[in-house]
């Protein structure tokens, strides 16, 4: 309790703000305080966009050691993140809604877009945010303009453009616990009409979990990557952008760290201890606890990812204010994971051991063409067409050894499966400016989805063993024509304030539950997930833009909600992707940015979210306890984030910057089954830094993360065969670090 009081005091001292997280673009000028976003495929002032949007500056995020979507979710109250052993298992949530699954046959409720290119698989978006200019989080259904799904929202990442003058930047950081990062970038003109930007990154982290079985630190990573961009302007009307990137990641996240050897039933609260597991863990030197950071496995789990691709973007100003944009892109994602299935070292009766080995081979091709009309007239609009083709091939094998009659018996299974998906769409959105103050908004997206799958599993056992089902083969195909839509009204209360109301219909296409242990009842396609959303908002600024902010209230109802539901098979946990039924998320969000002086910036953001299961459809062949009116997983009732930055000049070219930020998250249920032992209690994190800045050419910053040493889990789940496990975040413990940047 004392630490929580300390956190509250820290938040008040911080001025309840996120330091300089907003992106201030070149037009309008930075002096105006305006924040420019591309949420509607145009450069617009954030205060004029009738959408709830959060914006994060890439340079500031990097200086605070926020390098992935998982990290950034700690400073954006409307966003949450589910960790997992592999990128296949990691998920982003907006307003309490996301899609938890490893099946390649399902889309994410949250669409991630990089420089206009939709990333189809969630695993493509969980690596390092290399060369990020800024990030926009568009909250609520956004399928009218963005991509093929976005029934819960969009994360729109914009990478840096070439600079107008030759610039070289070198950045390095080292942090307690054996984490280091180095990034180099060069940017500038090649000729008077061609510019380039090239950046490279290497980062590594030893980890904060100890594997007693191998003697290694785990839960760490090694990453390196390159990103390049060439922008050619052959004349005043044409801009062509060639972009490419390659990102490699190797991490050794264990498949859970034991929190408890017992389990607590829902809704009775009855505790079922497991003396056998407790004894085995004791022999392995493991003491389960809420802050356990020790495992004992036969080998270190490992995941390797390669993410790469390229795009060509054409912007052609046709005359009369019209702009034609074409984005052609191709991407691949390769994933290889070798997890320790049982997360333990000792083979015992009723506690089998297993080793998994899985690969993902994914590619996608997309083509988008859109036409934007001139602005300022009675009507302005964006219309376009979209094409996507995506193919996934996966191979997953599992070896499980059991003690039978005192002797070890090993069974093996291997599955080859994949999907082929095509998406075609026509879309558009228009604004009717009835008066200088009143605007009506209407848009829609007509969507055709085609999805097919194949699956073939061969196993040694005819009756199935823990973790391996018998041999199975199946294939199927489904087609769907559907739509997304938006309608609304926006009213300008004054030159610096406006209000809006929108109705949106979101859509996420049909799905198949294609995975290693696929069963006969998985062969039927899941119905699409649709959403209807009502949102009202107010945005404005005061004192020449020195104070700005907004507030939004919303209600979103989901039908056919696609969710993973935990089940058991021969004593092992399995999950089933189902149309879970009807859910609702509603809430109020607010943010405030203030610049009282040129030396001081303050920001604050808060989200009050009420995300509930309105009616749950128990899947066939399963006995369910009612979870109606219970919270959705990863949907805390409250999240707050705030901080301050104060720049103190020493000489004309030298300054000190003091920076602090704090965040708070209320108790959070991590499992849709509502089990009491998968609830993370409320916690708060306080960070701070001090920097010496030299005339914008160099910076040296010392930082401390999690000052109050608050321990928490970013995922809690049931272990494979028994007990409860957690995933350990990077800032589970206090640590210090040093960042340096030199710009020529």
Written as one string, the DSSP assignment of 61-108 is HHHTT--SHHHHTTT-TTEEEE--SSGGG-EEEETTB------TTS--
Average pLDDT (216-227) is 95
Tokens 């001025």: give the residue. Answer: 15
| Cβ–Cβ < 8 Å for 585, 96 | yes
Residues 6+ apart with CB under 8 A from 26: none
C-alpha 349/C-alpha 678 separation (Å) is: 26
Average pLDDT (275-304) is 95
CA-based nearest residue to 126, from 181, 84, 154? 84
Handedness of CA 18, 19, 21, 25 (dihedral sign): positive
**Where residue 1 falls among pLDDT bands split at 50, 70, 90?**
very low
Distances (CA, A) of 726 to 257, 356, 678: 5, 20, 9
10 Å CB burial of residue 454 (0-12, 13-18, 19+) is: middle
Domain count, the chain: 1
**Where residue 127 falls among pLDDT bands split at 50, 70, 90?**
low
Helix (H) or strand (E) segment spanning residue 691: strand 683-694
How high does pLDDT run on average in the chain? 89
Is residue 313 domain-resident? yes
* HSE toward the beta carbon, residue 662, CA cutoff 13 A: 21
C-alpha 376/C-alpha 161 separation (Å) is: 27
The pLDDT assigned to 580 comes to: 86
Average pLDDT (136-152) is 83
Q: How far is CA 43 from the centre of its chain?
A: 24
pLDDT at 304 over 70: yes
The pLDDT assigned to 7 comes to: 37
Is residue 474 domain-resident? yes
Between 8-12, 393-397, 407-411, the lowest mean confidence (pLDDT) is in 8-12
**Where residue 695 falls among pLDDT bands split at 50, 70, 90?**
confident
**Where residue 63 falls among pLDDT bands split at 50, 70, 90?**
confident
Residue-wise pLDDT for 181-200, tens only, equals 999 999 999 999 999 999 99
Boundaries of domain holding 283? 17-743
C-alpha 590/C-alpha 600 separation (Å) is: 21
The pLDDT assigned to 144 comes to: 87
pTM of the predicted protein model: 0.91
CATH of the domain at 594: 2.40.170.20
C-alpha 378/C-alpha 385 separation (Å) is: 24
The pLDDT assigned to 710 comes to: 96
Tokens 């610049």: give the residue. Answer: 595
10 Å CB burial of residue 692 (0-12, 13-18, 19+) is: middle
CA-based nearest residue to 209, from 724, 730, 717? 730
Is residue 1 domain-resident? no
The pLDDT assigned to 621 comes to: 64
Is residue 6 domain-resident? no
Is residue 5 domain-resident? no
The pLDDT assigned to 75 comes to: 83
pLDDT at 27 over 80: no
Other C-beta atoms lying within 10 Å of the C-beta of residue 506: 26
Distances (CA, A) of 478 to 104, 394, 425, 646: 15, 20, 17, 57
Pairing of strands 263-264, 529-542: unpaired
Is residue 178 domain-resident? yes
Average pLDDT (204-208) is 96
In 253-378, DSSP assigns E strands to 257-260, 263-264, 271-272, 294-295, 302-319, 322-338, 353-372
Is residue 11 domain-resident? no
The pLDDT assigned to 126 comes to: 66
pLDDT at 655 over 70: yes
**Where residue 220 falls among pLDDT bands split at 50, 70, 90?**
very high
Is residue 93 domain-resident? yes
| Cβ–Cβ < 8 Å for 135, 157 | yes
Handedness of CA 28, 29, 34, 39 (dihedral sign): positive
Residue 287 tokens, joined? 């003491």
10 Å CB burial of residue 102 (0-12, 13-18, 19+) is: buried
In 130-270, DSSP assigns E strands to 132-139, 153-159, 167-175, 179-189, 194-205, 209-211, 216-218, 221-235, 238-251, 257-260, 263-264
DSSP state of 201: E
10 Å CB burial of residue 494 (0-12, 13-18, 19+) is: exposed
The pLDDT assigned to 34 comes to: 66
Residue-wise pLDDT for 606-640, tens only, equals 999 999 999 998 876 677 888 999 999 999 999 99
Average pLDDT (455-479) is 93
pLDDT at 721 over 90: no
C-alpha 410/C-alpha 52 separation (Å) is: 54
The pLDDT assigned to 20 comes to: 37
């Amino acid at each position: 309790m004392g630490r929580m009081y300390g956190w509250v005091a820290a938040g008040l001292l911080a001025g309840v703000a996120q330091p300089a997280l907003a992106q201030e673009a070149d037009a309008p000028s930075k002096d105006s305080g305006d924040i420019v976003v591309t949420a509607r495929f145009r450069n617009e002032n954030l205060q004029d966009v009738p959408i709830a949007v959060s914006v994060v500056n890439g340079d500031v995020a990097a200086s605070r050691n926020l390098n992935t979507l998982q990290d950034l979710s700690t400073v954006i109250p409307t966003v949450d993140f589910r960790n997992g052993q592999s990128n296949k298992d990691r998920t982003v949530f907006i307003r309490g809604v996301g899609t938890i699954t490893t099946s390649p046959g399902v889309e994410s409720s949250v669409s991630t877009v990089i420089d206009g290119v939709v990333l189809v698989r969630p695993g493509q978006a969980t690596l390092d945010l290399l060369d990020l200019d800024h990030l926009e989080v568009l909250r609520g259904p956004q399928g009218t303009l963005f991509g093929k799904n976005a029934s819960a929202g969009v994360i729109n990442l914009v990478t840096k453009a070439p600079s107008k003058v030759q610039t070289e930047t070198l950045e390095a950081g080292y942090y307690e616990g054996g984490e280091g990062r180095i990034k180099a970038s060069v940017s500038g003109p090649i000729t008077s009409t061609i510019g380039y930007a090239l950046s490279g990154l290497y980062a590594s982290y030893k980890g904060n979990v100890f594997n007693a079985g191998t003697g290694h630190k785990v839960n760490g990573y090694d990453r390196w990557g390159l990103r390049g961009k060439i922008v050619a302007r052959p004349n005043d009307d044409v801009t062509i952008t060639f972009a490419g990137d390659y990102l490699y990641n190797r991490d050794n996240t264990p498949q859970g760290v034991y929190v408890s050897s017992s389990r607590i039933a829902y809704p009775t609260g009855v505790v079922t201890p497991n003396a056998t597991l407790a004894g085995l863990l004791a022999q392995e030197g493991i003491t389960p606890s809420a802050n356990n950071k020790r495992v004992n496995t036969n080998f270190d789990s490992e995941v390797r990812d390669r993410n790469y691709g390229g795009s060509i973007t054409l912007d052609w100003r046709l005359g009369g204010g019209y702009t034609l944009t074409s984005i052609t892109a191709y991407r691949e994602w390769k994933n290889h994971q070798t997890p320790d299935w049982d997360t333990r070292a000792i083979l015992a009766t009723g506690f089998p051991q297993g080793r998994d080995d899985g690969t993902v081979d994914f590619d996608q091709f997309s083509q988008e063409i859109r036409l934007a009309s001139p602005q300022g007239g009675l009507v302005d609009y964006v219309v376009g067409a979209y094409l996507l083709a995506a193919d996934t091939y996966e191979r997953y094998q599992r070896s499980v050894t059991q003690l039978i009659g005192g002797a070890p018996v090993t069974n093996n299974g291997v599955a080859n499966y994949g999907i082929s998906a095509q998406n075609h769409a026509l879309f558009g959105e228009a604004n009717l400016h009835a008066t200088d103050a009143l605007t009506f908004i209407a848009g829609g997206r007509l969507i055709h989805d085609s999805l097919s799958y194949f699956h073939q599993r061969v196993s040694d056992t005819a009756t199935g063993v823990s973790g391996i089902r018998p041999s199975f083969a199946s294939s199927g195909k489904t087609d769907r024509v559907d739509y997304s839509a938006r309608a609304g009204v926006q009213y300008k209360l004054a030159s610096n304030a406006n209000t809006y109301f929108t109705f949106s219909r979101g859509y996420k296409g049909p799905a198949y539950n294609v995975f290693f242990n696929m069963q006969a009842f998985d062969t039927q396609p899941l119905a699409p997930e649709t959403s209807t959303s009502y949102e009202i908002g107010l945005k404005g600024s005061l004192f020449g833009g020195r104070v700005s902010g907004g507030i939004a209230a919303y209600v979103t109802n989901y039908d056919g909600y696609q969710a993973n539901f935990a089940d058991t098979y021969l004593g092992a946990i399995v999950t089933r992707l189902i149309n879970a039924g009807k859910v609702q998320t509603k809430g109020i969000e607010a943010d405030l940015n203030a610049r009282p002086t040129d030396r001081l910036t303050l920001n604050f953001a808060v989200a009050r979210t009420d995300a509930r299961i309105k009616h749950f459809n128990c899947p066939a062949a399963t006995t369910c306890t009612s979870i109606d009116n219970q919270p959705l997983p990863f949907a805390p009732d409250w999240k707050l984030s705030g901080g301050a930055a104060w720049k103190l000049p020493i000489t004309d070219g030298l300054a000190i910057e003091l920076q602090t930020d704090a965040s708070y998250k209320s108790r959070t249920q991590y499992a849709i089954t509502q089990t009491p032992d998968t609830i993370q209690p409320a916690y708060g994190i306080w960070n701070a830094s001090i920097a010496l800045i030299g005339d914008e050419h160099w910076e040296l910053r010392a930082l401390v993360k999690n000052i109050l040493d608050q321990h928490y889990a970013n995922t809690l789940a049931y272990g494979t065969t028994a007990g409860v496990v957690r995933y350990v975040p990077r800032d589970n413990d206090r640590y210090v670090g040093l960042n340096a940047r030199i710009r020529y």
